[in-house]
Every structure is written in C-alpha cells, then in structure tokens.
Amino acid sequence: MKVLSFEQEWTRQNNDRIQILRFMREAIGVDEVQWQDLTTLNLSKVREFITDKVAGNSAVTYLAILKAFLSRYTDEGIVPCKNPAKELKAKRVPSEQVVLNSDEIRLIENYQPRTEQERWVKAQFLCEYYCLARSSDIQQLTPENIKGDFLTYVSKKTMVATTVPLHKNFVKYFKQRGKTLDRASYNRIIKRICKNCGICEEVKLFYHGKVQIRPKYELIGSHTARRSGATELAKRDVPIATISKLMNHTNTLITSRYIFADTRNLGEEAMNFFNGE
C-alpha cells in the first residue's frame, strides 16, 4: 500500500491526537511536517518541546504514541532518524490523581452549558462516568450498542467485548454527544466547566514530580470521569475484579490505579480497629 505524506498518515491513524502534530510543527519550525523532517536532531527537539509544554506523564503518553506510530514505518526507509525510540524516550513522573465525588458530579449534571462545545464535553464526561468506558469507545457507540438494560460494546483499544448495566442517566447524555474534540480542547473545557460549577477547593498533592497546592478544577482531565466512576463503585463495595471488567481492563492491577482510596474516611468498622476496639 502506498505511504501517504506524514501528516496524512498521522491524521488517518491518530485523528484524535492532532495536538501532537501541532507540537511537532512548532518544535521543528515548519507549517507541515514531512517524512524528511524526522531527523535525529528534529526528533530530539520534538521531545524537548513536548516535555516543556505539557505535564510529565502527558509528555510520556504523547511521545509513546509518536514512537508507536513511527515504528510502523521502520522498514519503509522514509524516516531519516535510525532510532526514533531512543530520541523520543521520556521518563514517567509519579503523580497523585483526583476524583469527583457524587455531589460534584451532581454539580456538573446541573450545570447549564454556555457554548455548544461545553454541552458536548459535559455529555461526553458524564457518559464516561456512568458507563466507565474510554472516551474513544464513547465516541464510537451507537444506539445499537444499547440492548435492554445493558450497554454492550467492543473496545477500540483492547478489542475485547464489555457489557455494563445501563445507568438511568446515560441515554440522556448519550444523545447529547457532539463533535469529537482533540484531547487538549476537551481537557481545557472540562476544567472550565468544573471551575464554573464551583469545584474550586484547594487540593494538596504530589503532582508532576513535586508537592503542589492547586484548585481542584485544574486537576480534572479526560481520565477523571472513569476514575470517579470506578471509585464510586469501590465505595459501594463492588469487587475490584468486577470493576475491572466494567472498565474493560485486562487485569485488576490497572484498575487499582484508577481507584482513589480515601484513608480519612474508612468507615466505622475500620476505625474501630484504629481505635483499639
């Protein structure tokens, strides 16, 4: 099959990751990235630009996506850099995450969007919360995926089928989904929605490699909905193995990273232990 231009191939395979393409243009200093631009020096510039531009773990994710993409063209002889994986290597930085509690989710539900894009993002976010699906899976769902009281789909990422009980609020927001936005736009808008909702309490946590105090809305992003839904189920004593299946995870270790354990609110039985009873 004929290989298209770099940007055509990228858009064809990573249409939801246009932000990475924009970063590459800025880093290299071109209006359009060509295959011949992917030299060792330019890929090093891309790595440095992305790690300076976004949070540490986001940079790791972006660079991993770019590495995976370039690896498909290794045998084509069109990438000047002989070892893109080496030039695009970045270290993951430990970070704590936040989740939204049921009261904060209710604030988002009651929020009246001020723009069409806010309406789309609100609907997408709540769909992810209520069915625990990845955003890429929410975007490809159709009414045919709803069968009675259940939502059934095959995940785009894992190609594994998942069946989730249909939450009573899901269909309403499912119908309000709109155009797919790139990740950066989505994150910017959901932060704005949360700020407008008053989700502004200051949170102290280890974030991007250091202890920070930040307004909570600044810490909300595309993964927060799934984390919040998983945490809410865990609070209700749903076994982690079940939550893992609902989230379409391949193992419970992955799921455990999504669940926020609030050690300040352990419940009466647990506190009896610490009180020596």
Q: What whole-number distance in Å separates Cα of residue 54 and Cα of residue 68?
A: 19
Q: Which residue has the higher pLDDT, 66 or 52?
A: 66
Instruction: Name the nearest CA neighbour of 247 among 261, 228, 262, 266.
Output: 228
206, 142 Cβ separation under 8 angstroms? no
The pair of three-digit structure tokens given for residue 274, joined into one six-digit string: 């610490």
pLDDT at position 156: 87
pLDDT at position 241: 94
Question: pLDDT tens digit string along 239-261?
Answer: 999 999 999 998 888 888 888 86
Most confident of 101-105, 205-209, 210-214: 101-105
The C-alpha angle 72, 73, 79, rounded to 5 degrees, equals: 140
Q: Which residue has the higher pLDDT, 56 or 215?
A: 215
Q: How many separate helices (H) and strands (E) can be counted in the chain?
A: 14, 5
Looking at residue 65, its amino acid is I
Q: What whole-number distance in Å separates Cα of residue 267 and Cα of residue 269?
A: 6
pLDDT at position 107: 98
The residue written with tokens 């009281």 in the block is 149
- Residue 219 DSSP label: G
- Using CA of residue 18, residue 56, residue 203, residue 275, what is the dihedral sign? positive
Cα→Cα distances 54→59, 63, 125, Å: 6, 11, 22
- Half-sphere exposure of residue 86, counting CA atoms within 13 Å on the CB side? 6
Question: pLDDT tens digit string along 129-150?
Answer: 999 999 889 989 999 999 999 9
DSSP for 110-123, written as a single string: H---SSHHHHHHHH
User: Percent of the chain having pLDDT more than 90?
Assistant: 62
Q: What whole-number distance in Å separates Cα of residue 90 and Cα of residue 43?
A: 12
pLDDT at position 208: 65
- Half-sphere exposure of residue 190, counting CA atoms within 13 Å on the CB side? 27
- Segment holding 205, helix H or strand E: strand 202-207
- Please give the order of strands across the beta sheet that includes 161-165: 146-147, 150-154, 161-165
Mean pLDDT, range 35-54, rounded to an integer: 91
Domains present along the chain, CATH in parentheses: 6-87 (no CATH), 102-256 (1.10.443.10)
